Structure 1
Amino acid sequence: MKKILLSFFAILLLGTVIRCSSVPEKNPGLQRQWMLVSFDAFSKDELIKNKAEINLTGNMEKGKIKGKANMGCNSIFFTSGFKNGGKIKISGVGSTLKACQNMDLENAFIQKFDKMNHYSVDGHFLTLSDNSGNSMKFVAADWD
């Protein structure tokens, strides 16, 4: 009887430990590297030339992802909080401070990025938008 009870409690304890572990959440449809293909008056060729991207491959913890971006020169970092109903909150946007020849894209991106408050994923496209009608469209980098 002792062996049966001991086995039962060991299994119960193991199940509790597994459920309470801090395994980070993953959302494979969202947590990808995304290439910027449409933003403001910048042409798609200009965005591709600058290798404009955001990287959301970090672990999601409590609905937030620490992300990175690059618009051709400086490294940009941020925290993004994804909520049900297509809501997003982007905060903590910062960057390295290298002086580069063409900073127009980077400055425009940094100015508008943290104002994006809606997102949608449609197949291999991610679209971020704000309440003023501004939007950014990305394509998954791993899409052929």
Structure 2
Amino acid sequence: MRKLHPILVLAVLMTTVFSCTSNKEIHETDIMEELTPSNLPLADNSMSSLDWKGVYKGVTPCADCEEIETTITLKSDGTFKRTLKYLGKDENIFVDEGDFKWNDEGSKVTLSGEDGTVQMYQVGENVLFHLDQDGNRITGDLANMYRLEKNPTDFRLEDKKWVLIELNGNPFEKKDDQKEGFIMFNMETGTFSGNNTCNNFFGQYELLEGDGIKFGPAGSTLMACPDMETEKTFMEILKTADNYTVVDGILSLNRAKTVPLAKFELVNKN
């Protein structure tokens, strides 16, 4: 077999190495071009990783009143509702609604009110931090007053339909001239609603530690029905119940952990 000249062998090897190296460099360059920042997936942020939808409450400082009781509801459709109660100033209450937008980093939201005013908040784990006009956290002795805590939530209770089965220890069976009695709790807005076997009702609620619950004043429609006594009892229970239990698809509204005032059965439980 014919032998190659040593110089020719060396030239072939160098060409092969250079070719492989060039191909490798081109391949890596292609990869880096594909992984530009605009194409990289976003890291976890408040918008994508936190359960931020819900009701936030707190008491913030006020320049010309004692304090401001602040309630902000952030909804999944990108809208908000805000209630401001100015303490020590004729207890004035300001309510507005509007849209909110996330910043590019998904860490802050800007609320745009109906009157054109804007306010920024940093979204944390179950908390909103009221920011200054430049979008920075407020520091100093009053820093802790510029935070709004998110209302507690309970997946066992909320966003479900509960049908009335017992009132004051007595089994309840719907009569032909009655509507179905039920109650629902909306986790996102912190509102309860339902029917008391005659009229529709609605209001705000707040979950407390130890399965406590606080019902706000309830509004209702005003239709007359043959059995108004059941409606009266139902609505009275919403005024007096201060805690609840959920066991095996049964919701009990109680007063001071005593005998249940009312029981409800979960609809479509699995």
Normalising by the residue count of structure 1, what TM-score does the alignment of the two structures yield?
0.74
Judged with a 3 Å threshold, the aligned counterparts in structure 2 of structure 1 residues 27 and 102 are, in CA distance, closer, same or farther, namely same
Q: Show CA shifts across 1:52-77 (max 9, x none).
A: 11122x2x24xx63121212221111
Which is greater in Rg?
2
Amino acid at match of 2:37: S
- Name the structure 1 match of 2:164: 36
* Residues 1:72 and 2:200 aligned together: no
Deviation of residue 20 (structure 1)? 6.0
Q: Which has the higher contact order (CA 8 A, sep 6+)?
A: 1
Partner SS for 1:106: helix
Deviation of residue 95 (structure 1)? 0.5
Alpha-carbon distance between aligned partners in 2 of 1:41 and 1:15, rounded to the nearest angstrom? 49
C-alpha root-mean-square deviation of aligned residues, in Å? 3.3
- Name the structure 2 match of 1:139: 265
Deviation of residue 101 (structure 1)? 2.1
Alpha-carbon distance between aligned partners in 2 of 1:26 and 1:82, rounded to the nearest angstrom? 7
Alpha-carbon distance between aligned partners in 2 of 1:134 and 1:85, rounded to the nearest angstrom? 16
Judged with a 3 Å threshold, the aligned counterparts in structure 2 of structure 1 residues 124 and 77 are, in CA distance, closer, same or farther, namely same
Identical-pair percentage: 23
Ranges of 4+ aligned residues in structure 1 off by more than 6 Å: none
Alpha-carbon distance between aligned partners in 1 of 2:205 and 2:243, rounded to the nearest angstrom? 11
Normalising by the residue count of structure 2, what TM-score does the alignment of the two structures yield?
0.43
- Name the structure 2 match of 1:54: 183
Alpha-carbon distance between aligned partners in 1 of 2:248 and 2:195, rounded to the nearest angstrom? 23
- Name the structure 2 match of 1:86: 211
Alpha-carbon distance between aligned partners in 2 of 1:66 and 1:100, rounded to the nearest angstrom? 25
Q: Map of 1:85-104 to 2, 5 A cutoff?
A: 85-104=210-229
Aligned residues: 137
Judged with a 3 Å threshold, the aligned counterparts in structure 2 of structure 1 residues 23 and 111 are, in CA distance, closer, same or farther, namely closer
Task: Flag the structure with higher helix content.
Answer: 1
Q: Map of 1:2-17 to 2, 5 A cutoff?
A: 7=37, 15-16=44-45, 17=47
Judged with a 3 Å threshold, the aligned counterparts in structure 2 of structure 1 residues 83 and 76 are, in CA distance, closer, same or farther, namely same
Provide structure 1 residue ranges, at least 5 long, that are not aligned to the other structure.
Answer: none
Alpha-carbon distance between aligned partners in 2 of 1:86 and 1:21, rounded to the nearest angstrom? 20
Amino acid at match of 1:7: P
Alpha-carbon distance between aligned partners in 2 of 1:103 and 1:41, rounded to the nearest angstrom? 19
Alpha-carbon distance between aligned partners in 2 of 1:21 and 1:35, rounded to the nearest angstrom? 28
Q: Map of 1:98-113 to 2, 5 A cutoff?
A: 98-113=223-238
Provide structure 2 residue ranges, at least 5 long, that are not aligned to the other structure.
Answer: 1-32, 55-151
Judged with a 3 Å threshold, the aligned counterparts in structure 2 of structure 1 residues 81 and 44 are, in CA distance, closer, same or farther, namely same
